């Protein structure tokens, strides 16, 4: 999907870069913040997307509440976000983390502007309030979840802000559409949010994580997969991905299917991590 340079709205030949920063404690944004500043100073359009699952847990615990995780029959573990948890989610992500990241980027010279997925209906899709869970070996339907999957991105809002020189800093929640037409703030995975944004903008998606990329064998540093080109390669990648990396690979697939130019999964904890990723340090998926 890359190869031939196209002309973008800014008159340049490079697509916007969508950078996903981790919520995991292992992912230090300091290097990434300076790197975003370099890219922007060099005229590149950048959108930053961040998660913050551990911060949600920390704040729940500070408030004396217990984070609730459920296992689905398929073996996926995920947060169950009831109404109270959603409130803490809003406090942790668009509240604390987004504000701090915007301030950090502004101190690096970036005209950063924070938005959650509810703002302007930026990240929208159907709300899912029921989940299938496995509890004590029993399959159950559990209701009251606040989650959803993005099926629409207001790319016009982002393009407008980018054209005006702002660097959007995005975070969950997304805008969940109920069957009765009402909307609610709901949880969504930040990797997939970044993928949806990269797809909508035709951008390059850089997913920064706490390992160097996707490995054929995670215990063998020599088996880092450098480039994934075409369906056969991608099947190998899907087979190789384990644990949390499965989600990164699924996000990569969604980004490319949505129109992203390329996806990079790479290490956050190196010097200039975004430029390193774009230069091929981690796993590149086309």
Query: Which residues of this chain interact with a copy of itself, rule CB under 8 A?
Result: 59, 62-63, 87, 90-96, 98-100, 102-103, 106-107, 111-116, 118-121, 156-157, 160, 164, 166, 173, 175, 182-185
Determine if 89 is a binding residue for other proteins (CB under 8 A).
yes
Provide the phi-psi class of 14: left if phi over 0, else alpha when psi is between -120 and 50, else beta.
beta
Gap between the Cα atoms of 170 and 189, Å rounded: 12
Is residue 124 near other proteins by the rule CB under 8 A? no
Identify the residue among 161, 175, 186, 206 touching other proteins (CB under 8 A).
186
Q: Per CB under 8 A, which of residues 130..159 are in contact with other proteins? A: 130-132, 138-143, 147-149
Cβ at position 75, least distance to a copy of itself in Å: 32
Contacts of residues 92-95 at CB distance under 8 Å and 24 or more positions apart, as own/partner, are 92/52, 92/55, 92/56, 92/58, 92/59, 93/50, 93/51, 93/52, 93/55, 93/56, 93/171, 93/172, 93/173, 94/171, 94/173
Which of a copy of itself, other proteins, none lies near 283, with the C-beta cut-off 5 to 8 A by kind? none
Which of 167, 188 has the CB closer to other proteins?
Answer: 188
Tokens 């709205």, residue located: 9
Task: Kindly report whether the peptide bond that precedes residue 56 is cis, defined as omega within 30 degrees of 0.
Answer: no
Is 55 in contact with 101 (CB distance < 8 Å)?
no
Using CB under 8 A, list all residues that contact other proteins.
23, 51-53, 56, 72, 74, 76-79, 81, 89, 93, 128, 130-132, 138-143, 147-149, 172, 186-190, 247
């Amino acid at each position: 999907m890359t190869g031939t340079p196209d002309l973008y709205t800014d008159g340049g030949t490079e697509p916007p870069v969508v950078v996903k920063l981790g919520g995991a404690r292992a992912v230090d944004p300091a290097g990434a913040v300076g790197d975003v500043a370099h890219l922007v100073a060099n005229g590149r359009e950048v959108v930053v997307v961040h998660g913050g699952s551990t911060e949600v847990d920390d704040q729940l615990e500070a408030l004396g509440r217990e984070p609730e995780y459920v296992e689905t029959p398929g073996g996926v573990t995920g947060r169950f976000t009831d109404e109270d948890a959603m409130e803490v989610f809003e406090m942790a992500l668009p509240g604390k983390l987004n504000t701090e990241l915007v301030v950090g980027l502004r101190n690096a010279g970036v005209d950063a502007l924070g938005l959650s997925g509810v703002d302007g209906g930026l990240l929208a899709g159907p709300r899912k309030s029921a989940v299938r869970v496995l509890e004590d070996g029993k399959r159950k339907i559990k209701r009251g979840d606040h989650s959803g999957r993005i099926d629409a991105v207001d790319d016009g809002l982002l393009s407008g802000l980018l054209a005006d020189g702002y660097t959007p800093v995005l975070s969950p929640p997304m805008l969940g559409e109920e069957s009765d037409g009402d909307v609610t703030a709901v949880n969504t995975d930040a990797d997939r949010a970044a993928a949806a944004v990269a797809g909508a903008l035709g951008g390059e998606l850089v997913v920064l994580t706490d390992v160097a990329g996707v490995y054929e064998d995670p215990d063998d540093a020599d088996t880092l997969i450098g480039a994934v080109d075409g369906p056969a390669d991608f099947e190998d990648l899907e087979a190789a991905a384990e644990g949390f990396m499965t989600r990164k690979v699924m996000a990569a697939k969604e980004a490319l299917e949505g129109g992203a130019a390329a996806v990079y999964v790479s290490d956050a904890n190196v010097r200039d991590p975004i430029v390193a990723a774009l230069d091929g340090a981690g796993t590149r998926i086309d």
